[in-house]
Chain A
């Protein structure tokens, strides 16, 4: 996990994603201005779950930062103009 990541997302969403240290998907509590997610193991997230994340960020006035090697999530964030979710591509 990255030094400043507080959460790890891995696998496929929906499906077998695990949010390490945070219980089930979507069940975590945002309590700071930024939640950095180590999502290098993320293989897929569908638009429903992405928008749930965005809604969670909006409600808490926070930003979720997804660090991931999977470019697809960046494409969806761009297309939906999602606010509250940032994607940091990893090589």
Chain B
């Protein structure tokens, strides 16, 4: 039990909570919100519509309590938006901010790899903020793989009986993010790519993506975003990787999968792509940009080099 944590109001408290029923969700969330309201702390809740309504009906309205209808879309976007939000609250004089947010995973129809990285990155990105972030996970729809990552990325755990405990499975984010993980390979990649270019220029890569996209059902906006992302990734491979750089493209009606592989070791920054590189020279922000433009980005360090996988449209969920 760590009662001091609740009273301290300083530093980051990043806490996971597991529940098996709507009643347990309310037992976890409502007292957390009520404590914040009693202390006049700003609170932001981001849950899906059904769960948000459930919570809303169980707590009094307050100008300090906001329900955001915007769902978590892309990790880099969320990290950027939350940083901005926290900075605004502090500027307005808040002593602590509370957030309740349900992070998406395959049980909610969203691929997990970059959300696992997100959960680890939160511990680094928001360490300077007086933030208490509660991340509820519905065990009925959450896989063991996801639960295992959640256990490694949250320093604290909340329980439905009102306890807050130190999580002894917590792993330092740098260690977590540099652990080898099974690559998420799209089933399309089992077939030969429709385009394979060696050492392409960025403009050749852009043309190839735009050409392939014509045979898909992707929106113009999704294609334009992917074109930018591929261009930035190929530029990075040319400027920072080791040749040869290989571009491969697989289209399907509802998505395009692109991989860019070079023979280098890839970025050493464990938070690459999720946070803007603080010391990056002009031009060091391409990976961060791609993470905000694609439906999924994965980074894969392997014996033969480094692969960035960019997906536009609807990513296939891992089995």
Which residues from chain A sit less than 8 Å from chain B, CB to CB? 12, 14-15, 44, 46-48, 51-52, 55, 71-72, 75-76, 79-80
Which residues from chain B sit less than 8 Å from chain A, CB to CB? 202-203, 206, 221, 224-225, 227-228, 231-232, 235, 282-283, 285-286, 289, 292-293
* Contact partner, B231, options A44, A51, A71, A75, Cβ 8 Å: A44
In the complex, what distance in Å separates the CA atom of A72 from the CA atom of B292?
13
CB atoms of B221 and A71 under 8 A apart: yes
CB atoms of A52 and B293 under 8 A apart: no
In the complex, what distance in Å separates the CA atom of A14 from the CA atom of B231?
11
Q: What are 25 residue pairs bridging A and B, where the CB atoms are less than 8 Å apart in the complex? A: A14-B202, A15-B202, A15-B203, A44-B203, A44-B227, A44-B231, A46-B202, A46-B286, A47-B283, A47-B285, A47-B289, A51-B285, A55-B282, A71-B221, A71-B224, A72-B225, A72-B227, A75-B224, A75-B225, A75-B228, A76-B228, A76-B289, A79-B289, A79-B292, A79-B293
* Contact partner, A80, options B221, B227, B283, B285, Cβ 8 Å: B285
In the complex, what distance in Å separates the CA atom of A77 from the CA atom of B23?
44
In the complex, what distance in Å separates the CA atom of A17 from the CA atom of B224?
19
B224: chain A residues within 8 A (beta carbon): 71-72, 75
A14: chain B residues within 8 A (beta carbon): 202
Whole-angstrom distance between the Cβ of B168 and the nearest chain A Cβ? 38
- The residue among A15, A52, A79 with the most chain B CB atoms within 10 A of its own CB is A79
CB atoms of B282 and A75 under 8 A apart: no
Instruction: List the 3 shortest-distance A-B pairs measured between CB atoms, nearest first.
Output: A48-B283, A72-B224, A79-B292
The residue in chain A whose Cβ has the minimal distance to the Cβ of B201 is A15
The residue in chain B whose Cβ has the minimal distance to the Cβ of A48 is B283
In the complex, what distance in Å separates the CA atom of A14 from the CA atom of B282?
14
Whole-angstrom distance between the Cβ of A19 and the nearest chain B Cβ? 18
Q: A15-B203, A44-B206, A72-B227 are in contact. Are A51 and B232 (CB under 8 A)?
A: no
Q: A72-B227, A75-B293 are in contact. Are A47 and B286 (CB under 8 A)?
A: yes
CB atoms of B283 and A72 under 8 A apart: no
Whole-angstrom distance between the Cβ of A60 and the nearest chain B Cβ? 17
CB atoms of A72 and B228 under 8 A apart: yes
Whole-angstrom distance between the Cβ of A51 and the nearest chain B Cβ? 5
In the complex, what distance in Å separates the CA atom of A44 from the CA atom of B209?
14
In the complex, what distance in Å separates the CA atom of A69 from the CA atom of B162?
56
B286: chain A residues within 8 A (beta carbon): 46-48
CB atoms of A48 and B282 under 8 A apart: yes
CB atoms of A47 and B232 under 8 A apart: yes
> 9 more A-B contacts (CB under 8 A) besides A46-B232, A48-B283, A55-B282?
A44-B227, A47-B283, A51-B285, A71-B221, A71-B224, A72-B225, A72-B228, A75-B293, A79-B289
In the complex, what distance in Å separates the CA atom of A47 from the CA atom of B277?
14
Whole-angstrom distance between the Cβ of A68 and the nearest chain B Cβ? 12
Whole-angstrom distance between the Cβ of B74 and the nearest chain A Cβ? 10
The residue in chain B whose Cβ has the minimal distance to the Cβ of A75 is B225
The residue in chain A whose Cβ has the minimal distance to the Cβ of B289 is A47
A48: chain B residues within 8 A (beta carbon): 282-283, 286
A72: chain B residues within 8 A (beta carbon): 224-225, 227-228
* Contact partner, A46, options B221, B231, B292, B293, Cβ 8 Å: B231
A80: chain B residues within 8 A (beta carbon): 285, 289
Whole-angstrom distance between the Cβ of B298 and the nearest chain A Cβ? 20
In the complex, what distance in Å separates the CA atom of A79 from the CA atom of B225?
11
A44: chain B residues within 8 A (beta carbon): 203, 206, 227-228, 231
Whole-angstrom distance between the Cβ of B203 and the nearest chain A Cβ? 6
The residue in chain A whose Cβ has the minimal distance to the Cβ of B228 is A72
Q: A46-B232, A71-B224 are in contact. Are A52 and B282 (CB under 8 A)?
A: yes
